[in-house]
Structure 1
């Protein structure tokens, strides 16, 4: 049984779990940002059509997505640099029904993979992986548009937008974290998450074989970012640290009364035990201690527990505390 499987068994001990509107739920926050951008773009288009009814077909060509989508042209990008961040949260299109369907499927994929990543590592990596994937996908998008003559000829109308690149990063991060993680466990032994990731990438990339869809190549860049993030994490390089520190700094900037978090110092042995076995302290299993450990899992993930904390959870599950 792997660590992720053991953690799922311990989840029954939790009194507090991630719920849809729970404070500190990074996945819900990411989902909400995408929805806010979606409705702002949709309302802007409806308002424009209402105020330009006399323009006929010309008004129908307006699409507010151009305000927040990232252009492939470096000249246009220099004129709207904010789109490097806004494109990853924006869904757009001219036709309402396909747009709604695209938004629904995009959010379902994001929620599915984001929930698994949250289950494996807590809230810590949701936004960093999504942002890194989107940015590397943007780099791939620009390179491909400039590299392929059919795309470069129409570079003035090439824009990147949507959550696909960030979702691809989260999907690949989940698969790299725990490829044997299983979903739908009521179906046989369950379906490995790598199958779901493969299905998502296949559906997203199927148009890339024509070499005319730069967005599909951007998705490949996003998936590569997710893999590299976890790979470097296993090498001891956590690329999310600076983002988290920046967020904490911004959150505390206008809150001088907020107390700094107190770091607990671990106990150390200051003597040479020689050939003797050091004293081994066995912690009492209390509901309060279990709740503290489960809170740590929610925020950081099971992989960041100490051996003592893992043993406490194991003992608690055996004693059915």
Structure 2
């Protein structure tokens, strides 16, 4: 076992994991948003049925998901642009027990893959991957509805909704990051995460081969987005950085404790110019935070992307048994 492998196992067993109620837990926030939208749609349906009691068959057909799901028709989309955000958190289209069962299974898959991604890379990439996967899935959904002949006749009343598309992005991103990551390690050598991903994709787009379910193609689009996101990360490009910057800007907009950048760096005020002379050799301290940062880099890009300094830190940490 190499240095990076030993420390990956050390990190999983000793690092404090995110708890459900912990501030900044992106996975829990994503999970909570889906639950809130689910009950919002459910309550609106119950309220509508209650308000139309006694009307009988004269009551118009109503399903709130039409106001939350993204329509396949571009004209309808232009009238409901907010659906580009709400559709990825909304679940509907079914009735009673079937709706509850679908929602439960979707949230279990979301939590499973989100938890693994959180374990591998923390909170940073959960929302960006989920959103990008949902958007690319929506684009594929519209294209399929317009271009596939059996589906073209439904292009004026089709809707895409649910967390399956975003979850597919998380699943493939996790598998691309660490295909040999294992779950249920107490069962033999554990189950590789790629098997879990394959099972999820098979269940969710099994009807795609009949060309009668555009949602299945949307899930394929979401899966592609997860793969492309990690591929860009390994090239040193974070496509979700602007989302995180926007979030930080909004949260700090009215924060009196936010840090104001200094115009003159401290080193210009305190230190003098020594020319080419080096008064001492810089030896970086080996801290747990530094080790975690290096392990995160290994998870995203691989051990061979480490600098000589980072490899030396891992070697020193291994020798000092930190």
TM-score range, shorter chain: 0.7 to 0.9
Structure 1 CA distance, aligned partners of 2:63 and 2:297? 40
Report what 1:11 is aligned to.
12
The structure whose RCO (Cα within 8 Å, separation 6+) is larger is: 1
Report what 2:270 is aligned to.
none
**Contact residue 233 and residue 300 of structure 2 kept, 8 A:** no
**Contact residue 123 and residue 299 of structure 1 kept, 8 A:** no
Structure 2 CA distance, aligned partners of 1:74 and 1:219? 20
**Contact residue 145 and residue 152 of structure 1 kept, 8 A:** yes
Structure 2 CA distance, aligned partners of 1:227 and 1:270? 47
SS at match of 2:205: helix
**Contact residue 70 and residue 83 of structure 2 kept, 8 A:** yes
**Residues 282 and 82 from structure 1, CA distance in 2 versus in 1: closer, same or farther, beyond 3 angstroms?**
closer
Report what 2:41 is aligned to.
41
Question: How much has 1:281 moved relative to structure 2?
Answer: 2.2
Structure 1 CA distance, aligned partners of 2:260 and 2:196? 41
Structure 2 CA distance, aligned partners of 1:299 and 1:32? 26
| Correspondences of 1:1-321 after superposition (within 5 Å) | 1=1, 3=4, 6-14=7-15, 16-57=16-57, 59=59, 61-260=61-260, 279=281, 281=283, 283=285, 289-290=287-288, 292-293=289-290, 303=300
**Residues 108 and 38 from structure 1, CA distance in 2 versus in 1: closer, same or farther, beyond 3 angstroms?**
same
SS at match of 1:179: coil
Structure 2 CA distance, aligned partners of 1:221 and 1:150? 19
**Contact residue 145 and residue 151 of structure 2 kept, 8 A:** yes
**Residues 300 and 236 from structure 1, CA distance in 2 versus in 1: closer, same or farther, beyond 3 angstroms?**
closer
Structure 2 CA distance, aligned partners of 1:22 and 1:61? 42
**Residues 97 and 299 from structure 1, CA distance in 2 versus in 1: closer, same or farther, beyond 3 angstroms?**
farther
Decide which moves more: 54-63 or 169-178.
54-63
**Residues 100 and 279 from structure 1, CA distance in 2 versus in 1: closer, same or farther, beyond 3 angstroms?**
same
Decide which moves more: 254-263 or 217-226.
254-263
Decide which moves more: 72-81 or 311-320.
311-320
Structure 1 CA distance, aligned partners of 2:12 and 2:316? 14
Structure 2 CA distance, aligned partners of 1:63 and 1:234? 43
**Contact residue 4 and residue 178 of structure 1 kept, 8 A:** no
Give ranges in structure 2 of 5+ residues lacking alignment: 268-273
Question: How much has 1:245 moved relative to structure 2?
Answer: 0.8
Question: How much has 1:155 moved relative to structure 2?
Answer: 1.7
Question: How much has 1:10 moved relative to structure 2?
Answer: 2.4
Question: How much has 1:85 moved relative to structure 2?
Answer: 0.8
Structure 1 CA distance, aligned partners of 2:153 and 2:61? 21
Please give the root-mean-square deviation of Cα atoms over the aligned residues, in Å.
3.2
TM-score by length of 1: 0.85
Structure 2 CA distance, aligned partners of 1:244 and 1:300? 18
Give per-residue Cα distances to partners, 1:179-235, cap 9 Å, x unaligned: 111111111111111111111100111010110100000000000000010111111
SS at match of 2:54: helix
In the alignment of these two chains, the number of paired residues is: 308
**Contact residue 4 and residue 181 of structure 1 kept, 8 A:** no
